[in-house]
A and B are shown apart, each in its own frame.
Chain A
Amino acid sequence: MFDFIQYLFDGLAVGSVYALIALGYSMVFGVLQLVNFAHGELFMVGAYFVMYAISLGLPWPLALAFGMCSVGFFAVIMERLCYKPLRGAGKLAPLITAVGLSLLLQNLVQAILGPNPQSYPASLPEGYFSNALKSIFPSPEQIQLPQLPEGLFDWGEIVVRHRDLLIFIVAVAVTLGLELFLRKSRPGRGIRALALQPNAAKLVGVPFDFTISITFFIGAALAVLAGLLQGMADNQVTPYMGISSGLKAFAAAVLGGIGVIPGALVGGLVLGIAERLLVGYDLSTYKDGAAFFILIIVLLLRPQGLLGKARMVKV
């Protein structure tokens, strides 16, 4: 019994990272009915971005803000260049573009920063640009690196790391904040209006492109936050980290009900906890398959996802 409770706690942190990524999938799907497969790569790019910024000596809040804005704007530009021209082209074309973008980003990062896992403090690859940066910033050895809290809650049978709780609290806070933003703020209401009825929203004056840009920006910024947390927790950032986490997060978004904000959190946590249970009962080989098995079962019983509302399909 204690073991079971322990695995529930262990699953919180893993699931929270999935949830943070899943929010981006969910929001973009909500407004465009597009599964943005490049989203997992934004998480990976974000993790690199923040790692390098911190390794160059930026304090972590500044590095995070910088990373969120840069990757956020990158996502906006990506949408304008790659998805916007395909708005009238049905659903398949943007989907394939998304898969292509995902592969492109993975391989670009691999080509520029190298294929090997990087750890804090990361050193920039050799080259003119990095030499210029190095002359401005102090060398990584002199930098006091930020760390997630290292302590433990030790209740005998059950042990919880402070950092796991921190990641969980961040995920819950972000989800609540996002829900509040969508309900109360003007751009948030615009996003909801577009998700509900795009043509009517346009008629009543919701700025279409601007609202979509905001959606992509927020999704990307949350992925960067997830990248920072994951990178600091594991002390490892790789060009491939977006593939598995991105796919799991996508499963989490669908599981919770894609397009529904709290659904992403619930879906992420369910997947995270399921994974840890399998590992705990020594079935870790089946861990990745299990995520998708759960997804299939839930979709058979509730096609709209755990928290999704059944919607009539327009014919």
Chain B
Amino acid sequence: MIMPSRPSRRSAIAALSVGICSLGLSHSLLARAAVTEVKVGVILPLTGDKATFGQESLNGLKLALDKAGKDAPQLKIQVEDTQGTPAGSAAAVNKLISTDRVAVIIGEVASSNTIAASTAAQSAKIPLVTHASTNDSITLGKDFISRICFVDSFQGAVMAKFALNNLKAKTAAILVDSDSDYSRGLRDSFKQTFVAAGGVIKDELVISYSQKDRDFKTQLMKVRKATPDVVFIPGYYTQVGAILRQAKELKLNTKFLGTDGWDSPDLFKIAGAAAAGHYVSSHFASDDTDPRVQEFVREYKVRNKENPGAMAALGYDAGFFMRAAIKKAGSSEPSKIRDAIASMKNFDGITGTITIDKNRNAVKPAVIVTTTEKEFKFLTRVNP
């Protein structure tokens, strides 16, 4: 059969133009469809001396993602272990960006590690949301970096006021982890608030230790001689556990104050009976009577056979927060997700209502917990 040539050419052009149109249509459809799944990089200290923080964060995050179910947008997580070091964190971010091509990154816990990671993320213009790093400088001047936890200038002040008003302390000593930006930032904010309100912290009682230290007797002896009313230790549980234990050996009877770096079940394993009777600021308490907190605690316990700590709660919030932000962005494009994160308001998390301020920090309350030999007990909530 022989077809006339003219109509065939015309119909071909028509078909082509319809094709182009539909291609354009399907392209925009595809772009919309792409939001159904977004690759999210996760960097956590899964090994090393902050490993419980990484594992709890991951457990919380996974619980949140599973609970969200099959609804779009789906977050496809790619988890990298940072070994709890700044170098490991920077390497993990670089791998996630260049090899896995993630759209957004959640993580690190320790501030020094997040600082290292954020430099890499900022220069690649990939948004990074830290769920747990509280050092003030992290988001400073880096417009792709934000956080869903409070900052240390708030946390340090909370503990200073608690020491002055609730414990009636007049003198304090500070033990500083000199390897950690987190610890140094908290030292400054605690000292500033404590001294401004009339408390006394002698210069020789701001004593440093290193994360590699195992014996803290020399530092504790200085405290023992000066007998301050309270000792503030902004540090991580591995060293703090050893410090508390050795303080008890030296029959040191001052009260210890801590920060969210203490919030790990391993604190009690290392310190044993010496863990009891101290005060710690944190993001969350598992015995908080809020029904939503209790629902989370129940679900977490079923899956992980242990009580969730603050890191688990923050990981959980990070999962839902990221999902909400991506939904709001309506795109898997990193810069759009960044804008959505920066403009999140009144996100209802289990660690409090999260509003991202103009410096991309979260404004939210802290809790103060007290310690027994085995666990943390909810004491009070402090609003910003």
Closest B-chain residue to A156, C-beta based?
A: B225
In the complex, chain A residues 210-236 whose Cβ is within 8 Å of any chain B Cβ: 230, 233-236
A14 to B213 CA separation, bound complex (whole angstroms): 11
Bin chain B's interface residue count.
Answer: 20 to 34
Confirm or deny: B136 has a beta carbon within 8 angstroms of a beta carbon on chain A.
no
CB distance from B333 to the nearest CB of A (A): 36
A-B Cβ contacts below 8 A, count? 79
Chain A interface mostly helix, strand, loop or mixed? helix
A57 to B46 CA separation, bound complex (whole angstroms): 30
A159 near B224: Cβ-Cβ < 8 Å:
yes
B213 near A284: Cβ-Cβ < 8 Å:
yes
In the complex, chain B residues whose CB is within 8 Å of the CB of A244: 212
A164 to B269 CA separation, bound complex (whole angstroms): 22
Q: A115-B51, A235-B272 are in contact. Are A161 and B217 (CB under 8 A)?
A: yes
Confirm or deny: B304 has a beta carbon within 8 angstroms of a beta carbon on chain A.
no
A119 to B214 CA separation, bound complex (whole angstroms): 14
Confirm or deny: A304 has a beta carbon within 8 angstroms of a beta carbon on chain B.
no
In the complex, chain A residues 245-272 whose Cβ is within 8 Å of any chain B Cβ: none
Q: A119-B269, A234-B242, A288-B212 are in contact. Are A150 and B218 (CB under 8 A)?
A: no
Q: A280-B218, A282-B207 are in contact. Are A152 and B249 (CB under 8 A)?
A: yes
B249 near A7: Cβ-Cβ < 8 Å:
no
Q: A115-B48, A276-B218, A279-B219 are in contact. Are A236 and B208 (CB under 8 A)?
A: no
A284 near B249: Cβ-Cβ < 8 Å:
no
Q: A152-B249, A236-B238, A285-B208 are in contact. Are A117 and B215 (CB under 8 A)?
A: no
Q: A152-B251, A282-B207 are in contact. Are A236 and B218 (CB under 8 A)?
A: no
In the complex, chain B residues 6-43 whose Cβ is within 8 Å of any chain A Cβ: none
B270 near A117: Cβ-Cβ < 8 Å:
yes
CB distance from A57 to the nearest CB of B (A): 19
B266 near A116: Cβ-Cβ < 8 Å:
yes
A289 to B219 CA separation, bound complex (whole angstroms): 19
Confirm or deny: A139 has a beta carbon within 8 angstroms of a beta carbon on chain B.
no
CB distance from B84 to the nearest CB of A (A): 10
Chain B positions within 8 Å of A, measured between CB atoms, are 46-49, 51-52, 178-179, 207-210, 212-215, 217-219, 221, 224-225, 238, 241-242, 245, 249-251, 266, 269-270, 272
Which 9 pairs show the lowest CB-CB distances between chains A and B? A115-B47, A119-B269, A116-B51, A279-B218, A280-B218, A284-B210, A234-B214, A285-B178, A10-B218
Chain A positions within 8 Å of B, measured between CB atoms, are 6-7, 10, 13-14, 110, 115-117, 119, 150, 152, 157, 159, 161, 163-164, 230, 233-236, 238, 240, 244, 276, 279-280, 282, 284-285, 287-288
Q: Offer 16 A-B interface pairs, CB within 8 angstroms, sorted by A.
A: A6-B221, A10-B215, A115-B46, A115-B51, A117-B266, A119-B266, A119-B270, A233-B214, A234-B214, A234-B242, A235-B245, A235-B272, A240-B48, A279-B219, A287-B210, A287-B212
